[in-house]
A and B are shown apart, each in its own frame.
Chain A
Amino acid sequence: MELEDFLKEITEGDGVSGYEESIAAAVARAFSPYVAEVRRDNLGNLIIYIKGKGAPAPRIMFCAHMDEIGFIVTSITEKGFLRFGTLGGFDLRTLPGQEVTIHGKEKYPGVIGRLPPHLRKGEKEKKAPELEDLFIDTGLFPEAVRAGIEVGAVVAIRRDMIALRHRCRAGKAFDDRAGVAVLWQCARELSRMEHEADVYLVATVQEEVGVRGAVVSTYGLAPDLGVAVDVCHGDFPGALEHEVSPLGKGPVITSGPNIHPRLYERLLAVASDYKLPHGKDVSPGPTGTDARAIQVSREGIPAALLSVPLRYMHTSVELLDLDDMKGAGRLLAFFAAGVDRAFVEELTCF
């Protein structure tokens, strides 16, 4: 299997925040040829263990979240339309017309509907839709809806991955299944290297609703350091230069208060030494990623963040460059291979 195939498989599948069961199974299967052990923790985080040679071995954790933003049915109207709430943050303007899959007794296809323009009277016409203006249409008669779908049914966006020019691909859930694919790439590379550290690759859950998976997985593993792998905003017309990163120029390494300065330096050094293209960005406060939870777990854990540039985040056409992902996987592997007890000890006490 190639990186692109793995990305396609896991992004076309469904795994909304809090309901990551089926995607976890697919991820576990893909990692098993490269790793010693795969297990799930109390919240459903998938923990993949790659043993190192050290004794005692330093403990490294890399994590990427496998949950995607989605919806949950809150009520069913008399005529069988579904009202819904969100699991994670959406730009509601991107929803009308979007195809979805409803996980009821079976999987039902549906469409997110909106009143046609000539019925959107007055003020409302000028404004973006609110949740209460939207509904899901299954095309089924109300009895059939009620027989197969109940309040609380989880709904995921439906989107097949699209191959665009060069190495660009677009699809849903790249935030952050692209990160999970980076971890997979890292596992493949690591399987060809010698490394002292024990490496834990974690596909976390419920990041989109408050980095919840990372809170408990980090506590449970108590690693010596942790790197979160997520996506960052890719460039697009009208963006302020410093808020975005170009696609195709490598993954982005973040600095700022959420990031341990030595981890930042080491990631830059490794990228440089191995001639891996990369970018840099800064975050003036806690980042909106699992790194936020890692840094303040237990007695504090050195944290870093590596991101894949992604355009149109939180839409069903998130867009990235496969080479940026591959580069991220390689960078992580080389980084992990260079971590020894001495490096880890230097991280405590500035």
Chain B
Amino acid sequence: MKEWLTRLTAAFGPAGREEEVRDLLRQELSRLGETDVVVDDLGNLIVSRGKGEDKRIMVAAHMDGVGFMVTSIEENGFLRFAPIGGIQVHSLPGTRLKFSRGINGVIGQEKIKEQKALDFSKLFIDIAAAGREEAEEKVQIGDTAVFAAPLVQERERFIAGTMDNRAGCAVLLETIRRLPADLPQPVTFVFTVQEEVGLRGAQVVAYRIRPHFGLAVDVTRTGDTPEPQFKTAVSLGKGPTVKLKDNSVICHPRITALMRRVADAQAIPYQLEVLEQGGTDAGAIHLSREGVPTGALSIPCRYIHTPGEMVDGNDMENSVSLLLALLQTAW
């Protein structure tokens, strides 16, 4: 799984421009021998197992990450930009970016009186261009960039700029690899698009698939750092979480109970998650058509939406174990 994580986190894929991640996933799925692989009009990657529609489970992990879009190229060669997805402006000055065609950049900041009044209009991207003409040779208005933060490992922990949600994609991929052909109910895995800008891919693909149950696999924040922003009881290294609620969804009690039963039966460590803010694809799935009982399994992650997103390798292994056990149980 580390190899997949390395390659997935290196792939370029801000919301709306997930091609590279999707192509990488398609390649891997092909190598794994998956045949029922489809891409819809918005770019969601859909992999189905098992025939029939009876009690189909949809498992979703989003491929996209947060990013930046160029909105202006100035006379002096600096670029102005807008964020794609929710990014804290204070985490940006001095961060390194990469554009889709490999151009590198750095975010700089204009002088302001009070640092806490910082907003996006005071930031710019420096791509080392002497002036507008040179800049226009390298980038265009509408081009996108992401944090340049390749994967590094510290003991059992992995740090990269796109753990949200390539970690979830890696968990899905590993699950698909180890999932036996014989299952108690059919399952469709979806690598969704545009989660970061409003759960958009999940909304339309849930409509298409009409699942009976939904499960989102995403990262979630932890409360185990000094004076955390939100006092959540989730910690790195204590196992995947069974999400109870976040801003986008109150997980169906029957599904959370099932997840806990299975985890207990398989002796897989897990944590209970209540998130004050934030949402996941589960938010879109559960409100599709006549409603879909939906839950979520989260991978604890520190420093979400920064270049230093950190997950624990054991949490990822346990996430796969839990997901495998769940899909081999009758829902």
Q: Which residues of the partner chain A approach B293 to less than 8 Å between Cβ atoms?
A: 42-43
Is the Cβ of B231 less than 8 Å from the Cβ of A74? Answer: yes
Is the Cβ of A72 less than 8 Å from the Cβ of B274? Answer: yes
**Contacting A150 at CB < 8 Å: which of B231, B272, B289?**
B272
Is the Cβ of B292 less than 8 Å from the Cβ of A72? Answer: no
Once bound together, how far apart are the Cα atoms of A83 and B233, in whole Å? 10
Main secondary structure of the interface of A (DSSP, over half): mixed
Q: Interface centre among A83, A85, A87, A132, by most B CB within 10 Å?
A: A85
**Contacting A215 at CB < 8 Å: which of B223, B244, B287?**
B287
Is the Cβ of B274 less than 8 Å from the Cβ of A42? Answer: no
- With A19-B253, A73-B274 as given contacts, are A220 and B290 in contact (CB-CB < 8 Å)? yes
Once bound together, how far apart are the Cα atoms of A252 and B231, in whole Å? 42
Q: Interface centre among A74, A75, A217, by most B CB within 10 Å?
A: A74
B291 an interface residue at 8 Å Cβ cutoff? Answer: yes
Once bound together, how far apart are the Cα atoms of A219 and B290, in whole Å? 6
Residue of A nearest to B234 (CB): A151
Q: Which residues of the partner chain B approach A18 to less than 8 Å between Cβ atoms?
A: 245, 250, 253
Once bound together, how far apart are the Cα atoms of A19 and B252, in whole Å? 9
Is the Cβ of A43 less than 8 Å from the Cβ of B291? Answer: yes
Is the Cβ of A43 less than 8 Å from the Cβ of B231? Answer: no
Once bound together, how far apart are the Cα atoms of A24 and B267, in whole Å? 34
**Contacting A42 at CB < 8 Å: which of B223, B250, B290?**
B290
Is the Cβ of B272 less than 8 Å from the Cβ of A85? Answer: no
Closest Cβ of chain A: how far from B275's Cβ, in Å?
8
Once bound together, how far apart are the Cα atoms of A327 and B54, in whole Å? 46
Is the Cβ of A206 less than 8 Å from the Cβ of B289? Answer: no
Once bound together, how far apart are the Cα atoms of A55 and B219, in whole Å? 52
A37 an interface residue at 8 Å Cβ cutoff? Answer: no
Could you give, for residues 2-30 of chain A, a 1 whenever the CB lies within 8 Å of some chain B CB and a 0 otherwise? 00000000000000011101000000000
Q: Which residues of the partner chain A approach B250 to less than 8 Å between Cβ atoms?
A: 17-19, 87, 206, 209
Residue of B nearest to A215 (CB): B287
Is the Cβ of B232 less than 8 Å from the Cβ of A41? Answer: no
A212 an interface residue at 8 Å Cβ cutoff? Answer: yes
B40 an interface residue at 8 Å Cβ cutoff? Answer: no
B286 an interface residue at 8 Å Cβ cutoff? Answer: yes
Could you give, for residues 208-221 of chain B, a 1 whenever the CB lies within 8 Å of some chain A CB and a 0 otherwise? 00000000000000
Once bound together, how far apart are the Cα atoms of A215 and B286, in whole Å? 10
Once bound together, how far apart are the Cα atoms of A217 and B232, in whole Å? 33
**Contacting B290 at CB < 8 Å: which of A85, A209, A216?**
A216
Is the Cβ of B291 less than 8 Å from the Cβ of A216? Answer: yes
Q: Which residues of the partner chain A approach B288 to less than 8 Å between Cβ atoms?
A: 216
Q: Which residues of the partner chain B approach A219 to less than 8 Å between Cβ atoms?
A: 289-291
Could you give, for residues 261-276 of chain B, a 1 whenever the CB lies within 8 Å of some chain A CB and a 0 otherwise? 0000000000011101
Q: Which residues of the partner chain A approach B252 to less than 8 Å between Cβ atoms?
A: 43
Q: Which residues of the partner chain A approach B292 to less than 8 Å between Cβ atoms?
A: 42
Q: Which residues of the partner chain B approach A83 to less than 8 Å between Cβ atoms?
A: 231
Is the Cβ of B287 less than 8 Å from the Cβ of A152? Answer: no
Once bound together, how far apart are the Cα atoms of A76 and B276, in whole Å? 15
Once bound together, how far apart are the Cα atoms of A19 and B274, in whole Å? 14
**Contacting A152 at CB < 8 Å: which of B223, B244, B276, B290?**
B244
Could you give, for residues 35-51 of chain A, a 1 whenever the CB lies within 8 Å of some chain B CB and a 0 otherwise? 00000011101000000
Is the Cβ of A74 less than 8 Å from the Cβ of B233? Answer: yes
Q: List B230-252 residues whose CB lies under 8 Å from chain A.
A: 231-233, 244-245, 250, 252
Is the Cβ of A132 less than 8 Å from the Cβ of B245? Answer: no
Is the Cβ of B276 less than 8 Å from the Cβ of A85? Answer: yes
Residue of B nearest to A74 (CB): B274
Closest Cβ of chain A: how far from B204's Cβ, in Å?
15
Is the Cβ of A75 less than 8 Å from the Cβ of B223? Answer: yes
Once bound together, how far apart are the Cα atoms of A42 and B290, in whole Å? 7
